[in-house]
Amino acid sequence: MLIMPRLMFSMFVLLLYTGCSSNQQTTTEIQQRIIYGLTLEPSGIDPHINASSELGIPLRQVYDTLIYRDPLTKDFTTGLATKWEISDDGLAYTFSLREGVQFHDGTSFNAQAVATNLDHITNPDTASQKAIFMLGPYSGYEILDNYTIRILLSEPYSPLLDSLSQVYLGIASPKALSEYSTSRYQFHQIGTGPFTFAEYIPGDRIVLKRNPDYWGGPPFYHSLSDQSINEIEFRFFTDTSTRSIALISGGAQFMGELPPLDAKSLVTNSAVQLIQVTIPGQPLQFLINTKRFPTDKREIRQALLYGTNRTAIVDAVYQRFSPVAWGPLSASTLYYSRAINGFYAHNTAQAQSLLASAGFIDNNNDGVVDLGGVDLEISLLVPPWGFIPEVAQLIQDQWRSIGVRAVLQTVPTFNALTEKVKSGEYNLVAFYTFGVDPSILNSFFTTTGSNNWTGFSSAELDNILNNAVRQNDPNIRADLYTQAQRIIMDEALVLPIRDYVNLNAVQSGIRDVAYDAYGWFPILNNVSVSPST
């Protein structure tokens, strides 16, 4: 396709204006407007209520958080809080707040504003899907003075700082929260961030505009220049086939979640810059049901892992953009244990030996092993996202070589997936989630975990994971999570496939593109546009 670079940014509007905040280095800017392609339209975009990763892409620009994680070091750094202290018993977190910050509506930021947000999130009428759970054993707060607040816990919870650094606990204007109902606030969102929320038309667009009175942001935010972007229009590209076309044609300057084949075709296109971002959390994996025959047997679960050629899957489906996953955490996640690298590497002979040790052999020479005439049949729940159907089809083909019949059950939506899980009528279910802190393991692998889809129960594993979220010492936490990952893989509770890599691309004139520590959310405050475009 013929590319005309000088025309690629013809939609940019250039407008000189003044009015930078006092802590910015420049006083004159050239307004640059870009179109950002979102790949999913969330059913709701209130960070205190809704749970999608997609909502954080625009709203990370609207809201500030008390603290941040540095994108490079992953260490915590200042935000709306300038410092914090944790009590010796881990039950009280005291935050000294930044003075002189205003919300986009002119309301002053202070301790009462933080308190109002906490009350809003924990109010049952808000019906928070994620933020309330991120607070862990939250029990209340104390306002010590106008710029000091203490958050109280009923028991130690080390992931709290991680939670407070995420957009779902972004600080909203208390005035706006009181003026709008929970159903209307998503159209009138007001934070303290570098961009203001200008417009939201569901199914069409979200528009953000530069906040001229921004206080400056965390240490990794850049000062503005005359090439900084000042208006962003987010549009929805839910059809994967339209994404690279829009990028190349100029219909969008920024696009996330490109299909791997499209990304491969863009590698040599000088008009486009491909940006690969590793996402911490859980890899694409299949959780294995230990409560249903035949995966109630450890040897069968191990055989399925040995019988899966993950390298071939990553090569074919993800075009080698993603690394092979080895355990229940992605390699970029805090406290990932590299000791599990290479666990259950593809070995057909080992898989067949394990099946035979469990009594499964091909008695009638039909290519499928059986136990007393009952064929070994494994049911997989297959949702439509993340190229999981393609992965499942390759697994189905690979398992034929070890004599296992895989039955693929497609589930069209997340709700359909969870309903099927509740029925227990499956052997494996594909799933993944994201986060820097490995406490995400608790909901999946503790006996009472809300997502314990494996049905596995171990007092030892429960104690390890529950203790890990009560510890603030990083060395102790690292040791506990190493133990947990080893048990999970020794018991073959998951079939890991690939560590998630988000394939983004921008037109060549877009500069200074970086993502926050969680991988999903671009730091659009820092993005600039080359004047030559």
| Residue 432, pLDDT score | 93
Residue-by-residue DSSP string for 19-45? ---TTSS-SEEE--EEEEEES---S--
| Residue 43, pLDDT score | 83
- Are residues 375 and 267 both part of a single domain? no
| Residue 22, pLDDT score | 35
| Residue 65, pLDDT score | 98
CA distance 163 to 48: 12
CA distance 458 to 415: 28
- Are residues 507 and 493 both part of a single domain? no
Checking if the pLDDT of 415 tops 80, the result is: yes
- Are residues 189 and 322 both part of a single domain? no
| Residue 157, pLDDT score | 97
CA distance 135 to 159: 9
| Residue 21, pLDDT score | 36
- Are residues 111 and 178 both part of a single domain? yes
Quote the radius of gyration of the chain (alpha carbons, Å): 25
| Residue 444, pLDDT score | 97
* 42 confidence band (pLDDT: 50, 70, 90): confident
- Are residues 55 and 165 both part of a single domain? yes
- Are residues 477 and 508 both part of a single domain? no
* Residues 463-488: tens digit of each pLDDT: 999 999 999 999 999 999 999 999 99
Report field, pTM of the whole predicted structure over 0.75: yes
CA distance 334 to 481: 9
CA distance 163 to 170: 10
Residue 62: DSSP 8-state: T
The tokens 């983004």 sit on which residue? 504
Please work out, in degrees rounded to the nearest 5, the angle formed at the alpha carbon of residue 137 by the alpha carbons of 48 and 115. 50
> How many domains does one find in the chain?
2
Contact 64, 426 (CB under 8 A): no
- Are residues 270 and 332 both part of a single domain? no
Residues in a beta bridge with 226: none
Checking if the pLDDT of 274 tops 80, the result is: yes
Q: Find the CATH number of the domain harbouring 185.
A: 3.40.190.10
CA distance 262 to 260: 5
Residue 75: DSSP 8-state: -
| Residue 531, pLDDT score | 72
Residue-by-residue DSSP string for 294-347? TTTSHHHHHHHHHT--HHHHHHHHSTT-SPBP-SSS-TTSTT--GGGTTTT---
Share of the chain above pLDDT 90, in %: 90
- Are residues 303 and 319 both part of a single domain? yes
- Are residues 18 and 78 both part of a single domain? yes
Neighbours of 92 (CB within 10 A): 15
| Residue 40, pLDDT score | 86
Please, what is the average pLDDT of the chain? 92
CA distance 498 to 330: 8
Neighbours of 532 (CB within 10 A): 9
Q: Residues near 68 by Cβ (< 8 Å), separated by ≥ 6?
A: 76, 77, 78, 79, 165, 218, 220, 516, 517
Can you give the residue range of the structural domain that contains 327? 284-498
User: Crossing angle of helices 310-317/388-400, nearest 10°?
Assistant: 140
| Residue 145, pLDDT score | 98
Checking if the pLDDT of 7 tops 90, the result is: no
Share of the chain above pLDDT 70, in %: 94
Q: Which two tokens stand for residue 251?
A: 């219909």
Considering only CA atoms, which of 174, 55, 22 is closest in space to residue 105?
A: 174
* 532 confidence band (pLDDT: 50, 70, 90): low
- Are residues 449 and 316 both part of a single domain? yes
Checking if the pLDDT of 2 tops 60, the result is: no
Q: Find the CATH number of the domain harbouring 432.
A: 3.10.105.10
| Residue 151, pLDDT score | 98
Contact 44, 141 (CB under 8 A): no
**What mean pLDDT do residues 208-237 have?**
96
- Are residues 185 and 262 both part of a single domain? yes
List the single range of 10-14, 224-228, 431-435, 462-466 with lowest mean pLDDT: 10-14
Q: Residues near 429 by Cβ (< 8 Å), separated by ≥ 6?
A: 286, 287, 289, 380, 381, 417, 420, 421, 453
* Residues 172-208: tens digit of each pLDDT: 999 999 999 999 999 999 999 999 999 999 999 999 9
- Are residues 293 and 270 both part of a single domain? no
CA distance 100 to 82: 12
* Residues 65-83: tens digit of each pLDDT: 999 999 999 999 999 999 9
The tokens 């030559």 sit on which residue? 532
List the single range of 5-14, 275-284, 398-407, 452-461 with lowest mean pLDDT: 5-14
